[in-house]
Amino acid sequence: MEKQGNVIEYPKKHASGTAVRTVMDQDTAESVEANASPGGRTDEMSAWLVAVAERGDREAFASLFRHFGPRIRAYLLRAGGDAGRVDDVLQETFTSVWNRAALYDRSRASAATWIFTIARNRMIDAFRHDSRPEFDPNDPALHPNPLPGGEEAFATQERAEAIKNALATLSEGQREVLWLSFYEGESYPEIAIRLGIPVGTVKSRARLAFGRLRSELGTKWKDMR
Amino acid sequence: MSVEHHVGGDLLLAYGAGSLDEATSLLVATHLALCPASRQELGLVEEVFGVMLGSIPVDAELDESMLDAMISSPRLALAIPATSGSFVLPQPLRDRAGGDVGDLNWRALGGGIRQVPLRTNDTATRARLLSIPAGRSVPDHGHGGFEATLVLAGTFYDREKWYRRGDVAFADPNVVHQPVAGPEADCICLAVTDAPLRFRSLVPRLLQPLFGL
């Protein structure tokens, strides 16, 4: 029953497409674990990124590419890119990872999070012809963070586990909205049409999902800092 | 003073996922520039998506021949050129508008209210900067859709609440309201709407084509 609750069955995206079942549960944890070296895989990946930043370490960069490249490619394909553009965006993403590694701060984010944000922004620029509106942390008009933080190493491995557990506590409807928004890049009005429910219901599921994640992870966040 | 009225979790999730329309993304990004608490919440959202990205099932390995091209590109030095000065509009709004409030081509809407429409690529949602004279009220209006308003300077009062720099007010399609600018200074705000506004009284309705609202 627990297991059932953790599986999302996707409807077909295109008439020609095959339905894809995305699993976010023990199966995934095991498959991630299966190609992991002993010890914290998440922390190891952050260390690779730091090695790229500090030493221009090509082997560490190749390791990041081997791990995240296929996942980002799958993400970009699901977000609606054709194969040619997907490979362009994939290349741009990793070129940015290489060029901008000096900006990575492991005390603030895992390698997965940092690389995801780069891929997402490139995807928006390339597929939607928007330029992604992003705040600039160096803008003098930015209200600076009053909280000291970021000095201590972030327990990314434990955080990743906590996040997987928190995702498993979402209701099926909440998870469905989160998945379609993330994996398919669908807006709330598009999700409402796909699921045949009012857009207000989609938004309220999203709010509930967010509230749940925050209450599950908020206190643990503090504990781990 | 810290921001009191924040964007909701639904908007943070969609912004983090990259599935939010461009005009609303501009509002969320500007709010994030002014609100450290919401930035921390976005950090949580992105962390969740980072874990989800890491869990995407994959079945193929990549051609590694592209590695050499990537590694040959020049790497960024850590120093980032700092912008100085003080601005009313934070980034990324300043870039979209084409400068800070004093540099813009404000167009009169009537009643002393002025606007700068902001170009976005998606047409379902529209963004504009509004300047409302101190103490003046916006004609009362209903909505065909949602309206989100982010305060950038001055204050405004709407439905028994005060909104200050960084605060976001939301009005759903059922709300008819008449926001009033605070008395101390002109109120400058970013308004995002996903359908044309409907004014209740005749005069603003006649003005509507001019407003472009």
Could you report the per-residue pLDDT of B11-20, keeping only the tens digit for each?
A: 999 999 999 9
| pLDDT for position B7 | 93
Phi, psi of B126 (to 5 degrees): -125, 145
DSSP state of A222: H
CB contact under 8 A, B33 and A142: yes
Residue of chain A minimizing CA distance to B2? A143
| pLDDT for position A211 | 95
What residues are paired with B127 via a beta bridge? B118, B192
| Closest listed residue to residue B7, CA positions, set A133, A120, A146, A165 | A133
Class of domain A40-135: mainly alpha
pLDDT band at A225 (very low <50, low <70, confident <90, very high): very low
Residue of chain A minimizing CA distance to B55? A28
Contact residues on chain A for B19, CB-CB shorter than 8 A: 181-182, 185-188
| pLDDT for position B83 | 66
Q: Which of the listed CATH numbers 1.10.10.10, 3.40.50.300, 3.30.470.20, 3.40.630.10 matches domain A155-225?
A: 1.10.10.10
Contact residues on chain A for B45, CB-CB shorter than 8 A: 210, 213
Provide the whole-model pTM: 0.83
Between A83-100 and A41-55, two packed helices, what is the crossing angle to 10 degrees?
70
Superfamily of domain B98-211: Jelly Rolls (2.60.120.10)
* Mean pLDDT across A84-89: 89
> CB count, 10 Å around CB of A172?
13
| pLDDT for position A19 | 37
**Mutate: best of B56, B95, B96, B150, partner A, most A CBs <10 A:** B56
DSSP string covering B47-107 = HHHHHHHHT-----PPPTTHHHHHHTSPPPPS--PPP-S--SSPTTHHHHHTSSGGGS--E
Q: Which of B10, B20, B54 sits opposite A32 (nearest CB)?
A: B54
Residue A30 has pLDDT above 60, yes or no: no
| pLDDT for position B195 | 64
Q: Where are the domains of chain A?
A: 40-135, 155-225
* Mean pLDDT across A184-213: 94
Contact residues on chain A for B12, CB-CB shorter than 8 A: 210
Q: Output the furthest CA–CA distance in chain B (Å, rounded).
A: 67
Residue A50 has pLDDT above 80, yes or no: yes
For B62-118, what is each residue's pLDDT tens digit? 888 888 888 887 776 655 556 667 899 999 999 999 999 999 999 998 889 999 999
Residue B56: C-alpha distances to residues A23, B3, B52, B121 (Å): 8, 36, 7, 30
Q: Which of B17, B20, B77 sits opposite A182 (nearest CB)?
A: B17
Q: Are A81 and A68 in contact (CB under 8 A)?
A: no
Contact residues on chain A for B84, CB-CB shorter than 8 A: 140
**A59 touching B, CB under 8 A?**
no
Residue B23 has pLDDT above 80, yes or no: yes
**A83 touching B, CB under 8 A?**
no
Contact residues on chain A for B122, CB-CB shorter than 8 A: 128, 130
Q: Where are the domains of chain B?
A: 98-211
> CB count, 10 Å around CB of B138?
24
Q: Which helix (H) or strand (E) holds B13?
A: helix B9-17
* Mean pLDDT across A54-67: 92
Residue A34 has pLDDT above 60, yes or no: no
| pLDDT for position A212 | 95
What ipTM was assigned to the predicted interfaces of this complex? Answer: 0.83
CB contact under 8 A, B26 and A142: no
pLDDT band at B30 (very low <50, low <70, confident <90, very high): very high
Cβ neighbours of residue B198 closer than 8 Å, sequence gap 6 or more: B141, B142, B143, B144
3-class SS of residue B127: strand
Cβ neighbours of residue B36 closer than 8 Å, sequence gap 6 or more: A143, A144, A145, A146, A147, B2
Q: How many CA atoms lie within 13 A of B169 on its CB side?
A: 23
Tokens of A185: 């890049």
Contact residues on chain A for B28, CB-CB shorter than 8 A: 133
| pLDDT for position B127 | 93
User: How many percent of chain A have pLDDT more than 90?
Assistant: 44
* Mean pLDDT across A132-143: 85
pLDDT band at B125 (very low <50, low <70, confident <90, very high): confident
Q: Which of B62, B77, B80 sits opposite A69 (nearest CB)?
A: B62
DSSP string covering A164-205 = HHHHHTS-HHHHHHHHHHHHS---HHHHHHHHTS-HHHHHHH
* Mean pLDDT across B198-205: 54
Tokens of A4: 């059932």
| pLDDT for position B196 | 61
Contact residues on chain A for B92, CB-CB shorter than 8 A: 133-136
In chain A, the DSSP E strands lie at 7-9, 21-23
**For chains A and B, what is the number of CB pairs under 8 angstroms?**
244
CB contact under 8 A, A95 and B70: yes
For A1-24, what is each residue's pLDDT tens digit? 334 444 444 443 433 333 333 434
Q: Are B97 and B116 in contact (CB under 8 A)?
A: yes
Give the type of residue at A165.
N
A18-21 long-range contacts, Cβ below 8 Å, gap at least 24? A20/A78
* Mean pLDDT across B112-131: 89
Residue of chain A minimizing CA distance to B25? A133
Q: Which of A23, A139, A181 sits opposite B33 (nearest CB)?
A: A139
| pLDDT for position A40 | 60
| pLDDT for position A68 | 93
| pLDDT for position B142 | 66
User: Does residue A133 have a cis bond before it (omega within 30 degrees)?
Assistant: no
